[in-house]
Structure 1
Amino acid sequence: MRRTGIFLVLLILLACAPVSACTIFAVTPGASENGTMYVGHTNDGVGPDWRNIDDITLTYVPAADHAPGATRAIYFDPNSGSDAAGKKAGNATGLVLGSIEQVPHTYAYYTASYAMMNEHQLLSAECTDYAKVQLDAEEGKRIFYSSELSNVALERCTTARDAVELVGSLIDTYGYYGTGETLIFADPKEAWVIEMCSSPAGTGGLWVAEKIPDGEVFVAGNEFRIRTFAEGDPDMLYTPDLFAIAEEYGLRSSSEGDFDWLEATSYGEYSHPYYSLMRVWRIQDRLAPSLNLSPYVEDSYTKALPFTVVPDTPVNRTTALSLFRDHYEGTDFDLTAGVAAGPFGNPYRYLGPADAHTDFQNESSIEVRAGANPRPVSAVFCSYSYVAEARSSLPDPVGGVLWFGPAVTYETVYAPMYAGSENVSTAYTTGTRTEYDPDAAYWTFDFVTNWAMLRYDAMIEDIRAEQAALEADSIRQVGETDARAAAMIAAGDEAGARRLLTDFTVQRGDEIIDEWQDLSAMLVVKYSNGLITDPATEDVDEPGYPAWWYQEADYQYGPRVYDLERLRATPGLNYTGENVWVPRNASIDQILERI
């Protein structure tokens, strides 16, 4: 019997569940310049993470051995239905939802809101998606959300396929709650995407996974990206009862041909049209402009943007680190241009009601909102981002590097952290959004972003210069450290190599924070009080505003003459930027002729 009625009730109950937002990508070895696997993630959310601490800090979890019979607790994630503006669904109490049998040994890994990279070069990234069915957590029935799934996978797995299979089996066995989710898992040779949501049956969950073809790049931004497939596809994995559940609960009919995962389980984007797809288009178009992909689509179910693209030019490390630094510059959606960007090209917008992460479409209706801002890849509410790399040509402790950047992606600096390191700079492990700490990595970078908004077009040049210099130096030092550590491992001294990698990871993190704090101090002096002061020469410039802004701001109707009333009543005056001299006894009509 079809249970469409029950399914619709679930939709009504869950229609207002809020969510968070991220952008992710995977560059397979065949698509990169030197055979490197790259995985990137922006954590664009506000609130505590699965550890019940603020989501702006990084945690290194060491490897561990476990006694026979030990169990692993599974924690409730307070962000499993949370809004980027901080409205959290659920109580962040550290509630243990259940436990699973522990394995004898777990691997070391880096995590925050989600797992990132483990000591065996297994990489992961996450983004939230809208799903038709989003059920609450329930002890013993639905205990897993994507955050803990990613952590367990990196604790236990060394390959991407093993991680996907483990995550799928955990969902099938222990149940899934919360928003729809996309996870990337990648190792030095292979990358997979797994997407998941709650099941209308109330137990287990629905999930499907697809292998990313080597030589191609995958991008996602808060919308399921897996589409049609048929049973028996060797590059697809899915929950065993997926088709039966979909049929029983009216998600699809067997007469409809190939199963479309996106259409069956989701209405596509959330918040507003183009919230997700514009970011996918932007990164795909940057990497493969020859495809001439259009940013304009018919609806959320479009197939105009492919699952993956082949980049026109193989992706190198510098390009990979740049993909999240984007405000649609040079396109029709350029956030640095126009009145909304202000006189100095500020690309960041204050969030308003139309930007809320609430469902704007359902089975029968679509909400046409009064207006929303374009959602850029570099979002002002980002808590951290990273680009992780895995290199098959190097031993695991050396080959895996997590390039971690606190706060907003466009103005951050990515610090290298090795898979074989056993510690990180303290600045990256401390801090909270509710208390300013100049020594916390998040606040070090977030301060610069917020200060730059005062005169963005000028300050961003200083920021880019320092950013490029620091990352270029990090790349140089990573090359040197790679060679030294790999040679030590080849000579049988892996312990010494790990000490070297740890020392480098901590020291380089400290250096980047020190340099960025110096930049902060310079920017405060240089751009205070609406002036531009050269700290070296002490020259002071009073640049004012651009001419177009004077025109838009009605500057030409300001106090240029004593007869202000007549001046303001004069239509069609344009700001020219030119000053003129007139006799002291000139009439307003004579003055108007001149200006």
Structure 2
Amino acid sequence: MKVIAVIGICLCIVTMSGFSVEACTTMLVGKDASVDGSTMVTHTCDGNYDARVRVIPGQDFEEGAMAPVYKDLCHDSIPGKEMKQAGEIPQVKHTSTYFNVGYPFMNEHQVIIGEDTFSGRDECFNDQGLMMIEMLQVFALQRAKTAREAIQVMGELAEKYGYGDGGETLTIVDGNEAWMFDIIGPGPFWTPDSGKSGAVWAAVRIPDDHVSMASNRSRIGTLDLNNPDYYMASANVVSFAEEMEWYNKEKDGEFLFWKAYNPDPYGAPYYQRRREWRVLSLLAPSLNLDPYLDPEKEQYPFSVKPDKKVSVQDLMTINRDYYEGTEFDLTKGLAAGPFACPNRYPTPKDVKPEYAKDTDWERAISIFRCSYSFVAQARNWLPPAIGGVLWFGEDAPHSTCYIPVYSGVLEMPRPFSSGSRSYYDKESAWWAFDFVSNFADLKFSYMIQDIKTVQQELEGQFFAMQPGIEAGALKLYEEDPQKAKVFLTNYTKNMAMLTLARWRALADELIYKYNDGYVNGKQVGYPTEWLETVDYGKTNVVPAK
């Protein structure tokens, strides 16, 4: 068996270019852990992904219809990486309306999905698998009305048709439950006619009064499959690990999914765990978690009870975090420059100092290369068209504005549903937010205050309007659900375009306010501490003879 594993590694090194590890962060909140009884889920999509939000209407199909299956759906807006049809599967009689983006995230039934990549063992990759993670999300959103159903749809399709992607985590909510779902491939020797499962997967429901998160490492451990209310898994979840000699019950004791399938997360030593520590510490500071936890000896808890009930605004704040006020604060130190910029760009190994070849900058939750992020809530006391609201932000979380997008929305405005990250498009909403984010890096400590002012102005307005908007939508829904959907569509489109117009105006304001390094035409220079650190003025001192 060890020989097979070694061969598998070699094959996978050749074939693994099919998936990305640009990385994301996602959070889950149970309904009894939130301030209003909603379940919540977040996602920061941290890489070059399709940021266009498009509503794909539900359809009815004739008996015998087939559904196309695509590769590279999440990169479709990137030239040269357009989606390609890889096959097809039998279509269902009716599909639900869903929202398509890099990683499709919501349907009309307020089933909402977040995502992050953990990659997992190379030996699990299989290039014959038909299903990529984003395609599983499409089918789940088209065919499921609950989070539990979504997991069952994805699990069954991946097992039958094969999973051809890297290890992935999905966080899934409906109005009642919050689940974490991990999936990985069946190894290079699986074929569609092998008679074996084409995927290995597991899912855990978090307690209703708990919160959880994932950041590029599998966090599912124990699986009590005798408790189907809280645990689900493929039939091979343990046996495949035993077959590959990654788990031995006598030697290892209790089976842990992450230990079998993702024992060595990619990246620098704390690339994943620092974010685990940060999210859990912000939500449950009383736990006093150790930021330097030794992964060989201990793990952070899979889920925790928060110290206080969690709001949408709390999760937005966490999405925007770069360790402010901690020893890892990215606005501090020489690397932040004179104006406390938290961004740290990827550094190739060949230019790293010898002592730091295998380490990296701290990895924040909010990161400059984010395509989009969201905070979403599902509420079981409202009709799904109204109860599901996803607060969507283009580009980096710290410099974006979150706009409300309801489950019942029928279309998005063109600037939010078109464009590409691969070429500048002044009509695209993404580029308006990306410009403000990039320009702010020039004088971050100043400009982020201007950005926060507009964020608070707009988001505060949206939150203040929310009760009235939803009351009006509910009244219309009782008359005719379609009228409510049209009303919410118009509201979402209007708020999206209002935000875009304000962001374009903000860009103009920043350009003239901070022109040539001045602030409204006044000299501000540099912080004294930074000047001292960089030996300011010493070249003008005559050396002693």
The TM-score by the shorter chain falls in which range? over 0.9
1:555 paired residue among 531, 536, 541: 536
TM-superposed CA distance for 1:67, in Å, is 1.4
CA positional deviation for 1:370: 5.0
Answer yes or no: is the 8 Å Cα contact 1:208–1:236 preserved in 2. yes
8 Å contact kept, 2:73–2:102: no
2:486 & 2:276 partners in 1: Cα distance?
A: 40
Q: Residue 199 of structure 2 aligns with which residue?
A: 205
Q: Which moved more, 1:368-377 or 1:118-127?
A: 368-377
Counterpart code for 2:452: R
Helix, strand or coil at the partner of 1:348: coil
How far apart are 1:257 and its partner, in Å? 2.3
Give a deviation string over 1:67-86, Cα, whole Å, max 9, x none: 11111111112769x9xxx9
Question: In proportion to residue count, which structure has more helix?
Answer: 2
Instruction: Report what 1:20 is aligned to.
Output: 22
Partner of 1:586: none
Which residue of the partner structure matches residue 406 of structure 1?
394
The aligned runs of 1:355-366 (5 Å cut-off) are: none
1:39 is matched with: 41
**Aligned AA (1:317):** V
Which residue does the alignment assign to 1:111?
Answer: 100
Task: Tell me which moved more, 129-138 or 426-435.
Answer: 129-138
Letter in 1 for 2:428: A
Structure 1 residues 134, 248: closer, same or farther in 2, change over 3 A?
Answer: closer
Q: Greater shift after overlay, 327-336 or 94-103?
A: 94-103
1:493 aligns with 2:488: no
Instruction: Report the alpha carbon displacement of residue 555 of structure 1 after superposing the two structures with TM.
Output: 1.2
* Equivalent residues in 2 for 1:530-541, closer than 5 Å: 530-533=517-520, 540-541=521-522
Q: Which residue in 2 is equivalent to 1:274?
A: 270
Which stretches in structure 2 are left out of the alignment for 5+ residues?
192-197
Amino acid at match of 2:2: T
Deviations along 1:353-407, one digit per CA (max 9) or x if unpaired, are 2499xxxxxxxxxx97254111110011100011111111211111111111000
Instruction: Find the counterpart in structure 2 of residue 393 from structure 1.
Output: 381
Q: Select the residue among 503, 508, 516 that pairs with 2:495.
A: 508
Q: Deviations over 1:115-146 (max 9, x none)?
A: 211111101011000311366664xx410111
Question: 1:449-506: CA deviations, max 9, x gaps?
Answer: 111111100111111011011001111222211000101112x221211111111011
Q: Which range moved further: 195-204 or 212-221?
A: 195-204
Contact residue 12 and residue 126 of structure 2 kept, 8 A: no
- Flag the 1:12–1:267 CA change in 2: closer, same or farther, 3 A: farther
The SS at the match of 2:319 is coil
Matched, 1:471 2:459: yes
Paired position in structure 2 for 1:247: 242
**CA shift at 1:19, angstroms?**
1.8
Paired position in structure 2 for 1:360:
none
Q: Deviations over 1:524-560 (max 9, x none)?
A: 1101101000xxxxxx32010011111122113143x
What is residue 72 of structure 2 aligned with on the other side?
77
What is the deviation of 1:243? 2.1
Deviation of 1:8 (Å): 2.2
CA drift at 1:433:
1.7
Structure with larger Rg: 1
Match of residue 420 from structure 1: 408
Residue identity in the other structure for 1:186: V
- Shift of the 185–472 alpha-carbon distance from structure 1 to 2, 3 Å rule, reads same
Letter in 2 for 1:284: L
Whether 1:5 and 2:3 are equivalent positions in the alignment is yes
Cα deviation, residue 100, structure 1: 1.4
Distance of aligned partners of 1:354 and 1:287 in 2 relative to their CA distance in 1, 3 Å threshold: farther
| 1:80-99 map, 5 Å | 92-99=81-88
Partner Cα separation in structure 2 for residue 268 and residue 77 of structure 1: 26
Candidates 195, 198, 209, aligned match of 1:215 = 209
Change (3 A) 1:368 1:170: farther
| Contact 1:119/1:397 (<8 A) preserved | yes
Q: Is 2:306 the counterpart of 1:325?
A: no
Measure, in 1, the Cα distance between the counterparts of 2:404 and 2:298.
37
Alpha-carbon distance in 2 for matches of 1:525, 1:280: 40
Distance in 1 separating the partners of 2:145 and 2:218: 25
Query: How much does 1:348 deviate?
Result: 0.3
- Aligned twin of 1:52: none
Amino acid corresponding to residue 102 of structure 2 in structure 1? S
| Aligned equivalents of 2:96, 2:392: Cα separation in 1 | 20
**2:171 alignment partner in structure 1:** 184
- The answer on whether the counterparts of 1:23 and 1:222 sit within 8 Å (CA) in structure 2 is yes
Inter-partner Cα distance in structure 1 for 2:287 and 2:151: 30
| Structure 2 residue identity aligned to 1:553 | V
Q: Deviations over 1:144-187 (max 9, x none)?
A: 11111111101110111111111111111111112100011110
Structure 1: any 5+ residue segments left out of the alignment? Answer: 48-54, 357-366, 534-539, 571-595
TM-score in terms of structure 1 length: 0.85
Cα distance in 2 for partners of 1:302, 1:529 equals: 52
2:46 is matched by which residue type in structure 1? Answer: D
2:307 aligned to 292, 308, 312, which one? 312
Deviation at 1:326, TM superposition (A): 0.5
Query: Taking structure 1 as reference, are residues 329 and 355 closer, same or farther at Cα in structure 2, changes over 3 Å only?
Result: farther
The alpha carbon displacement at 1:92 in A equals 2.9
What amino acid is aligned across from residue 549 of structure 1 in structure 2?
W
The aligned residue for residue 166 of structure 1 is: 153
Q: How many residues align?
A: 528
Give the 3 Å change call, closer, same or farther, for CA 184–110 of structure 1 in structure 2.
same
Task: Note if 1:262 corresponds to 2:262.
Answer: no
Report the secondary structure of 2:170's partner residue: strand
Change (3 A) 1:229 1:211: same
Q: What corresponds to 1:146 in structure 2?
A: 133
1:260–1:166 CA distance, 2 compared to 1 (3 A): same
Cα contact 1:134–1:180 (8 A) shared by 2: no
Q: Distance in 2 between matches of 1:93 and 1:523?
A: 35
- CA deviations 1:430-452 (Å, max 9, x no partner) are 22122222331111111111111
8 Å CA contact 1:134, 1:177 repeated in 2: no
CA distance in 2, matches of 1:198, 1:355: 32
What amino acid does structure 2 have at the position aligned with 1:410? H
1:177 is paired with a residue whose SS is coil
CA contact (8 A) 2:111 2:145 kept: yes
2:523 is matched with which residue? 542
Is residue 28–residue 213 contact of structure 2 (8 Å, CA) maintained in 1?
yes
Write the letter of the residue equivalent to 1:171. Answer: A
Q: What's the offset of the Cα at 1:302?
A: 5.5
CA distance in 2, matches of 1:132, 1:320: 31
Deviates most, 239-248 or 228-237:
228-237
Q: Which 4+ stretches in 1 moved above 6 angstroms?
A: none
